[in-house]
Amino acid sequence: LPEEFEQARPIMQKIEAAGFEAYFVGGSVRDTILGNTIHDVDIASSAYPNEIKQIFNRTVDTGIEHGTVMVLEHGEGYEITTFRTESGYQDFRRPDSVTFVRSLTEDLQRRDFTINALAMRENGEIIDLFSGLKDLKNGVIKAVGDPQQRFHEDALRMMRAARFASQLDFTIEAKTMAGIKANASLLTKIAVERIRVELEKLFLGQNPTSGIEVFVNTKLYQYCPMLAPFEIDLRQLATLEKWDLSLPSEVWALLAYTFYLHGKQINQFLKAWKTSNQVIIDTVQVVAAINEISEEVLTAKMLYQTGKERLISANKIALLFGGELTTDDILKRYDELPIKHKNELELNGKQLLQEANLRPGPIIGKILQRLEQDVVENKIENRHDLLIEAAKEMVKEG
Ligand code: ATP
Ligand code: MG
């Protein structure tokens, strides 16, 4: 068992000693069996939240309305969720009501795919009620129960299927695939933020091109913000070599670049997807850099304003489209920049005020900006005396 499970065992044993059941469930069981690293350990239990709180001294109500209590032990937090069933789903996304139950079977039944519906005892024994182990072994994503019904209950599951196809490099079982095709339009009922998370994971997965094929062939893309016009472009993407992106901003830059979006359009596109402002800033800059790299006109100014991390992102994407420069080439050019940051300029505002005898005002910033740019472009050496002299010259010329 992985270290994370070993550490949680005493907690599960304590729940069992109190007369309840406890199991590892969800992605961590799936990933352990696959031999992948796990991130969050989910524990499910027959004990109700108030019963969990009686067993342990230190707990936090992290999600008590859906049955989750966090238990604090040896400096770690463990989320224990009471077995539950869900019913209602009138809005195609959330159950109208959640009912706590004592039966593991009912809890596993509400889960999306067979590979996500496995449970593991603290001793490592696996409970496999829906042939999830077989599907894991064969690399198959298959809905628990009737796919039509399951996608009706919660349309996000369709995006999760496409995401897992990429993330795990699995195929989607035929009836499950048919269920997605028949219900793709229900995706419009789902909050954009939740779709976005799945789309990012799809693009950052092991086999993004096959995830995109699912996304396009099932028409899910048509029900996502601002993607409907881009079927051909998305299909084009799916013909590229597998890529290895690592950041959401790289995902968005890849899409924006593929769709030939510029400036304001990128902004609109990402606003529609409700990404963070930082992602918008990064994406705009990365796309600008990809454009210069691919047109072979990468300037010192672009190197400077893009910065090292984003240059690496940009070149990863440029390389996918046949870019000629290696990332090392680009980083070498970056390292040769006379300065990497404004504060490396051998002249600051205070010095400029005093030594050029100026009064405070917007002119100070303007001069510094010009000098910064001139230094970056090697038009002037980054030496204090030269910079002051040039500043005085600028003042004279107005
Ligand atoms: P990840 O590796 O991304 O965390 P995960 O499978 O653990 O993948 P989570 O969103 O953390 O995904 O959910 C944990 C578990 O809860 C899932 O494995 C699945 O059993 C269940 N689950 C999550 N979302 C849904 C859903 N929309 N419908 C049904 N079951 C779900
Ligand atoms: Mg998880």
Q: For ligand 1, which residues put their CB under 6 angstroms from it?
A: 26-27, 42, 111-112, 116-117, 154, 156-157
Report which ligand 1 atom has the smallest distance to the Cα of 38.
2
Report whether pLDDT(88) > 80.
Answer: no
* pLDDT classification of 90: cutoffs 50, 70, 90: confident
Q: Whose CA is nearest to atom 4 of ligand 1?
A: 27
Q: Is position 110 annotated in a ligand binding site? A: no
According to the model, what pLDDT value does residue 89 have? 66
**Cα–ligand 2 centroid distance for 42 (angstroms):** 7
Q: Give the torsion sign (CA, 238, 243, 248, 253).
A: negative
pLDDT at 361 over 80: yes
Nearest in space to 88 (alpha carbons), one of 98, 78, 74, 79:
98
Tell me what the mean pLDDT of segment 197-201 comes to. 98
Please indicate if the annotation marks 111 as binding a ligand: yes
DSSP per-residue codes, 72-106: EETTEEEEEEE-EEEE--TTSSS-SEEEE-S-HHH
Sheet holding 22-25, edge to edge: 59-63, 68-73, 76-82, 42-45, 22-25, 119-120, 126-127
Give me the count of residues in the chain: 398
Domains of the chain (ranges, CATH numbers): 1-138 (3.30.460.10), 139-242 (1.10.110.30), 342-397 (1.10.246)
Phi, psi of 77 (to 5 degrees): -110, 135
Average pLDDT of span 181-188: 98
Task: Give Cβ neighbours of residue 197 (< 8 Å, ≥ 6 apart).
Answer: none
19 is in an annotated binding site: no
Residue 161 CA to ligand 2 centre (angstroms):
14
CA-nearest residue, atom 12 of ligand 1: 27
Q: Whose CA is nearest to atom 30 of ligand 1?
A: 111
Residue 220 pLDDT class (50, 70, 90 cuts): very high
The arithmetic mean of pLDDT across residues 296-313, rounded, is 97
**Mean pLDDT calculated for residue range 213-225:** 98
359 is in an annotated binding site: no
Please list, in sequence order, all residues whose beta carbon lies within 8 angstroms of the beta carbon of residue 62, skipping any fewer than 6 positions away: 68, 69, 70, 79
The number of the ligand nearest the C-alpha atom of 201 reads 1
**Residue 357 pLDDT grade (very low, low, confident, very high; cuts 50, 70, 90):** confident
- Is 42 annotated in a binding site? The answer is yes
pLDDT higher than 90, residue 44: yes
Predicted interface score ipTM higher than 0.95:
yes
Residue 355 has pLDDT above 70, yes or no: yes
pLDDT more than 90, % of the chain: 89
CA atoms within 13 A on the CB side of 99: 9
Residues 6+ apart with CB under 8 A from 232: none
Reported as type and span, the H/E element at residue 120 is: strand 119-120
182 CA to centre of ligand 1 in angstroms:
22
pTM: 0.93
Which residue of 43, 81, 111 sits with most ligand 1 atoms within 8 Å of its CB, as the best mutation to test the pocket?
111
Q: How many CB atoms lie within 10 A of CB 105?
A: 12
Q: Is 56 helix (H, G, I), strand (E, B) or coil?
A: coil
Q: For residue 242, what pLDDT is reported? A: 80
Q: Which of 266-280, 284-298, 357-371 has the lowest mean pLDDT?
A: 357-371
CA of residue 165 to ligand 1 center, whole Å: 14
Q: What is the mean pLDDT of residues 99-123?
A: 97
Using most ligand atoms within 8 A of CB, pick from 112, 114, 189, 193 the residue to mutate for ligand 1. 112
Q: Is the dihedral of CA 104, 105, 111, 112 positive or negative?
A: positive
The residue-averaged pLDDT of 179-189 equals: 98
Centre of ligand 1 to C-alpha 305, Å, is: 39
Nearest CA to ligand 1 atom 25: 112
Contact (CB, 8 A) for 148 and 183: yes
